[in-house]
Structure 1
Amino acid sequence: MALSREFGAEQPSSAGALKLRLPFVHYRIEYQDFIQGAILSCVPLGITAAMTGVLGIPIEIAVLMVVINNFLYLLHTSFGDPSVAGWITAGIPLYIAYLTGYAEGPERIQALIALQVLVGVIFLVMGVTGIAKTVIGKFPVSMRAGILLGAGFASLMRIFDPGQPFISQMPVAFLVAAFFSFFVLFSVRALAYRARYGWFAWVAGFGIAPGFVIGYIVGLITGEIPMPQGVFDQFIISLPFGEMFTSFSAFGIGMPSISMWISAFSLAIVAYVLAFGDILVLEAMILDADANRKDEKIVFEVPRNHIITSTRNLVQGFFMPYLPLCGPQWTGGQALVVNRYKHSTPDQEPSYWGGATSLFWGMSLAMVFHPLVQIILPARNIGFGLTLLIQGYLCVYIAFAMCTNNAQRGIAGVMGAVLVTANYVKLWGSPFWTGPTLALIVGAILYFSLEYYSEEERKEDRDPKTTVQKILIGKKQPPKDK
């Protein structure tokens, strides 16, 4: 039985400032989120194709790296950070382009080690010094909304892009899955059904799982999804820890050269800029969840998130360099957890931490069992596509809700449009001058040009004497008596 809390307080924790929370002690396992996580285990496994193709990592070791990476996500929710963590996804094409500049084999692995360790160091410095907290605390609302809009647009554009494997390859199965998932999660009628029918509230608690299952069945009937293969070839996945350490760690193949560290530095900064947007999205979603559930206080601390993200990058960088790097948030997973939490009663989901952590317990454990992975893999694009759709929907409506005037809405819209040009624009041949960097620059220019108004100017306008003087400006004054 999980420890109880006072109304409106934080969920109890141990280990003082570390805020350690353990299953069955500080929160209960939410089986709905556990099942959602198990179904979504197909999403992180999708990176194995790039890992084998770009880095030459055998598939068994690539799968093992994905599993270890997923268990490390639990560091966040186990130590007081509400993030449903993930990759620094937007930069994957940039990382691949950078790595292919090195010879395939140990040299390419060393280049990735340098990149990931430097990303870890940047997160550590920004978190420990408090610079990140200061910057994010002063970040304008309009620019926050612009990043949210950009993230939402980018997700939705991928769904309807004919080059992506969603609408183009399985139109019937995916659209059916999307319809049922959106109805359960966001329909006004569905919210009424949750309160009226216990069975519907139970089904809705599974989030995208019912839509995924229905879409999977439709896909098998229409032939858009192939039948699972090799389900019973083995029970537990291969666990080649020794080979992973000797062939792909810094201690097995040696440390990167000085030139590799220097070459990776600019791209490491780009990766942090990309991750910065994820942090702003994370903060907005946690505030949204906190506003909808008054019974529990969820605290998001930027330094804590940075330090844990740094730890993951440093550990994986040295021991198992990971192509997509370690980011502060997986927006699609965060959206699923936040949406279920804020639409649940305290009886249905007593604590945010149960759902956020159960998602990764389900995902991580599912990937260890070979039959379950083989069953889910054929429909991996349904699971991935649904998370993108939900991410896009939530990001867009939260962005609109944040803006309070037309200047903010206009700045957010322009900045969001610039942000999604990351896939099309690279000025001066540099990966730094892509959509995310340009969005921050354009957003800053628009903010200071259209919206910014200093406190001194506000005080001056509020001063009655100054107001009278302004009214009298331009009026002819009577001559003074001599």
Structure 2
Amino acid sequence: MGRERKYGEIHPGVKWGPFTIRLPGVHLKLTPSQHIQGGLILLATCGSITPLVMQYFEVSFEVAWTISLVMLFWVLAQTVLFGDVYAAGAITAGLPLTIVFMNTLTPGIEAIHGMIALTLVVIALFLFFGVTKLGEKFNAMIPVALKAGIIMGAAIAAFQSEINRLPEMPFSLITAWIVVLVLMFSIPFSKLPNTKVKLFFGSNALLVSFAFAGLVGFFTGELSYSISWGIFVPPIGETISTLSLWSVGFPSWEVFLTVLPIALIIYVLAFGDLVVAHTLLKGADKAREDEKIDINPTRSHFVLATRNIAQLLTAGPLLWIHGPIWTGVQVFLIERYKKGRHVMDSIYGGPMNFYLMAIPLGLLLPVIGIIMPLFPVALSVTLLLTGFACAYVAMSMVHNNISRGMVLAIGMLTATLGPVWGIGIGIGLYFILIGRHGETKAVESQFGGDSEEKEQTA
């Protein structure tokens, strides 16, 4: 092990620039009990976009799976190589809008160029707002109703995609939806006594929903499993020659201009994720005085830019953008962290142990054989939860009926016609219906301080 952490200090590691390396088994204690559960959940969730990668980029399963495995490496790198405190994920709320954009492109090179351009613009935004530290001011400039409408657009697009998918596997998908919604959001379920069974099901909601859907799908004939033995050998050469910048070249300037509105939305969503993560970790910091949690939004911007650049250079574009936090996993890990050092030595050890075995498990053909049929279920659950969360977040951001109506209108336009129409008409509606001074705005910093609000009337 590396140097032991002194009481109340930041967990030690090896500093390099603004980042800190914390290696498994050296700086961070290994917790094998988390390895299999975390690895399987991560594989099923991240692998859920594999069919979409195959569809839009016109690549084989082997190439699409390799892209997912490379993504998992850079997700783990957020904790191990860069030392950021969050449980890394993707900007999932942006995925429905990305799919809407992909549907306007021809599968193959055009779609690959579109995703490369979108990723590069988002990277530029992370770097710009990281260097200038203007991210908070930029987000404060955007009217709350407009932001809520954009988030509602992600919710509507997510629900639309799953309603369209439902006839393909109704029994499996409905089972997964019911199980995950009950375990994560049901008020009657939350009021049940906190038995070991309830706690197990509640803390493993994703895995339990996949398991139930897998069984129902097998018995109804919607899902079939083909298990073989061996090791998956990633076709690195084919992946690079098919998707890398060196092979497909840079998109045209017209494509960059087209993706700019979507990129701005994705950055706003990512900044919102950082605010959520900060709020969650403040509670963890209060619960544990033995470790100081190092939260640095500027560093997080650089980490996100680096992860997305690395993804592009090593395996080409994803269909979603690397993001700061996987909210469900972050909440689960923080609850374990609050139980004390005997359960989780360091806040950094949580994501490391949860993510560590994903790639080794993803190279085993028997595991792939079990997980691959569940990809549509995993994607559906991911989008359903994204839609559900985005919908209630959007509605909670506004506080009068005019704003709620406007949020729904912007959301519908964004989901059906695209972000350009949603933002353009949304700005017009905002000035016509609400006015420049018609919203209640928070005047304190989103990253600290006591909450103070004051009304600004039109």
TM-score using structure 1 length: 0.71
Match of 1:59 in 2: 61
For the pair 1:281 / 2:282, whether they are aligned, the reply is no
CA distance in 2, matches of 1:289, 1:420: 35
Q: Residue type matched to 1:340 in 2?
A: R
- Shift in Å, 1:119: 1.4
Q: Residue type matched to 2:263 in 1?
A: A
Match of 2:323 in 1: 327
CA distance in 2, matches of 1:57, 1:363: 22
- For 1:238-277, list aligned pairs within 5 A: 238-277=233-272
Alpha carbons of structure 1 residues 154 and 340: separation in structure 2 relative to 1, 3 Å: farther
- For 1:9-20, list aligned pairs within 5 A: 9-15=9-15, 17-20=18-21
CA distance in 1, matches of 2:161, 2:113: 37
Q: Residue type matched to 1:125 in 2?
A: F
Match of 2:6 in 1: 6
- 2:304 and 2:324 in contact (8 A); partners too: yes
Tell me which of 130, 133, 147 is aligned to 2:133: 130
For the pair 1:313 / 2:308, whether they are aligned, the reply is yes
- Shift in Å, 1:251: 1.0
- 1:332 and 1:388 in contact (8 A); partners too: no
CA distance in 2, matches of 1:92, 1:374: 26
Q: Residue type matched to 1:86 in 2?
A: G
Tell me which of 72, 76, 79 is aligned to 2:78: 76
More displaced stretch, 352-361 vs 5-14: 5-14
For the pair 1:42 / 2:44, whether they are aligned, the reply is yes
CA distance in 1, matches of 2:280, 2:425: 23
For the pair 1:211 / 2:213, whether they are aligned, the reply is no
- 1:281 and 1:395 in contact (8 A); partners too: no
- 2:117 and 2:251 in contact (8 A); partners too: yes
- Shift in Å, 1:389: 8.1
Match of 2:31 in 1: 30
Match of 2:22 in 1: 21
Match of 2:337 in 1: 341
Report how many aligned residue pairs link the two structures: 436
Tell me which of 95, 105, 123 is aligned to 2:98: 95
Where 1:110 maps in the other structure, the secondary structure is helix
- CA distances 1:70-123 after superposition (whole Å, capped 9, x unpaired): 111122212221222333333334434444555544344233322211211111
CA distance in 2, matches of 1:377, 1:86: 20
Alpha carbons of structure 1 residues 226 and 13: separation in structure 2 relative to 1, 3 Å: same
Alpha carbons of structure 1 residues 454 and 359: separation in structure 2 relative to 1, 3 Å: closer
- Shift in Å, 1:213: 7.7
- For 1:430-469, list aligned pairs within 5 A: 431-434=419-422, 449=438, 451=440
- CA distances 1:249-291 after superposition (whole Å, capped 9, x unpaired): 1212322233333333333223323323222222222223333
- 2:183 and 2:202 in contact (8 A); partners too: no
CA distance in 2, matches of 1:218, 1:67: 26
Where 2:357 maps in the other structure, the secondary structure is helix
- 1:33 and 1:362 in contact (8 A); partners too: no
Where 1:365 maps in the other structure, the secondary structure is helix
- Shift in Å, 1:47: 1.0
CA distance in 2, matches of 1:295, 1:394: 33
CA distance in 1, matches of 2:304, 2:117: 16
Where 1:19 maps in the other structure, the secondary structure is strand
- Shift in Å, 1:56: 1.0
Match of 1:470 in 2: none
Tell me which of 395, 410, 418 is aligned to 2:399: 410
Gaps of 5+ in 2: 445-458
CA distance in 2, matches of 1:420, 1:330: 26
- 1:180 and 1:211 in contact (8 A); partners too: no
- 2:97 and 2:418 in contact (8 A); partners too: no
Match of 1:479 in 2: none
- CA distances 1:321-356 after superposition (whole Å, capped 9, x unpaired): 2222323333333333334333x3321122221111
Where 1:410 maps in the other structure, the secondary structure is coil
Q: Residue type matched to 1:357 in 2?
A: M
- Shift in Å, 1:129: 1.6
Gaps of 5+ in 1: 456-482
CA distance in 2, matches of 1:97, 1:180: 29
CA distance in 1, matches of 2:439, 2:253: 45
Alpha carbons of structure 1 residues 224 and 38: separation in structure 2 relative to 1, 3 Å: farther
CA distance in 1, matches of 2:380, 2:363: 23
Match of 1:356 in 2: 351
- 1:42 and 1:373 in contact (8 A); partners too: no
Percentage identity across aligned positions? 25
Match of 2:223 in 1: 226
